[in-house]
Amino acid sequence: MRVFYSLNGQTGVGGGSAEEIITALESLSPDMTGLRFAQFGYGETVYRPMRAQPWQISQEDLDKFEAISIAAAENGWQLNEHSSRDEKIRDMLSVFELVNETHPIGDLRWTIAHNDAISPDSILRAIDLGMVFAVHASRRNMSPERMRSAGEAGLHMPPVRTIHGLGGVWGLGSDATTVASPNPFHTLGWVVSGRSGSGDQTLVETVSREAALIAHTRTNAYMLFRENDLGSLEPGKLADFAVLDRDYLTVPEAEIENLRSVMTVIGGEIVYSEL
C-alpha cells in the first residue's frame, strides 16, 4: 500500500488561526519524496471559516484566506480545498485569481475537492488558473431519500461529465474512510454506471470506463506530483498493478463495483495473491 496524506490543523499542523497556518507554511517544506508514505500538500480544510455552511464568510476571513494562499504560493505548497457549493467556490476562485496576479499558482496544482455543485463558469475559471479537480464518490452512499431531496440538481452532483467535457484535469477518489467505501471499484462503478450503493440511479453525469480509469490512476498520480513514478505501466515507473477476476473494460457497467483483485503487485512485489 502507498499512503499519501495532507497536512492541516486537524492533523496538528497549523493550528486554527490564520497566523498559525501561515507560520506552518513558512517554516515547513512540502515533502513528496516518500514512495510508501508521503504528504502531498496542505488541506483539505485549509482555513476553517471556509467550511461555513450555509455559506457565509466575512471579508476579514476572506482576507485571511488570501494571506494563507499567498504564503502557500510563496513557499511552494499545493492547496487542497474542500468545496461543494458553487457560491463558496466562486469566492475562493476570486481570492486565487488575486493571488495569481502576483504569485503564479499554475505549477502548484491547487485542487478543488468534491465539486458537487460547481458551475461550468467556475470550472473554466479554475482551469484558467491551472487548478485540478478531486472528484469524490461519497454521494454514492447517500440514501435515495437524501439524494431526491436535492431534486433534479442532485443527479448532476458531482458534474463529472461536465468537468471532463470542458477539459478539466480531474482525479477520482472515494472520500474514504470517513464517509465512504475505500473500494476503488465502488468509485469506478458509480461514475460509469451512475448507480448508488443501493442500486438506484443517482448520477446522470457519468463518464466512460476508460475516462474513469485514467482519472483513478494517471491523473491521481499527477495530482500527487508522482506522474513520473506512478499511475501507468511504463518503463521506469514503479510496477504497481492488480490482476482482476474479470475484465474491467467488458463486464456490464452494473458489475464494475463487484470486481476484485486476485493478485496485487506493489513495486514489483506480489503482496496479495489467490493464483
Give tens-digit pLDDT for 153-212.
888 999 999 999 999 999 999 988 778 889 999 999 999 999 988 888 889 999 999 999
Q: Give the per-residue pLDDT at 13.
A: 80
Closest CA to 186 of 253, 135, 258, 115: 258
Q: Residue 39 pLDDT > 80, yes or no?
A: yes
In a domain, 244, yes or no: no
pTM: 0.94
Q: Give the per-residue pLDDT at 113.
A: 96
Per DSSP, the three-state class of 47 is coil
Supply the Cα-derived Rg of the chain in whole angstroms.
Answer: 19
Please count the structural domains in the chain: 1
Domain of residue 168, CATH code: 3.20.20.140
**Residue 195 to residue 193: CA distance in whole angstroms:** 5
234 upstream amide cis, omega within 30 of 0? no
| Better-predicted residue by pLDDT, 178 or 2 | 2
* Cβ-based neighbours of 72, under 8 Å, separated by 6 or more: 25, 42, 46, 78, 79, 108
Output the CA torsion 178→180→184→185 (10° steps): 160
Domain membership of residue 69 as a residue range: 3-237
Per DSSP, the three-state class of 92 is helix
In a domain, 77, yes or no: yes
In a domain, 107, yes or no: yes
* Cβ-based neighbours of 1, under 8 Å, separated by 6 or more: 36, 266, 271
In a domain, 252, yes or no: no
In a domain, 248, yes or no: no
In a domain, 272, yes or no: no
In a domain, 267, yes or no: no
Residue 14: band (very low, low, confident or very high) from pLDDT cuts 50, 70, 90 = confident
- Secondary structure letter of residue 225 according to DSSP: T
In a domain, 271, yes or no: no
Q: Residue 93 pLDDT > 90, yes or no?
A: yes
Mean pLDDT in residue range 78-100: 97
**Residue 123 to residue 108: CA distance in whole angstroms:** 17
Burial of 150 (0-12, 13-18, 19+ CB in 10 A): middle
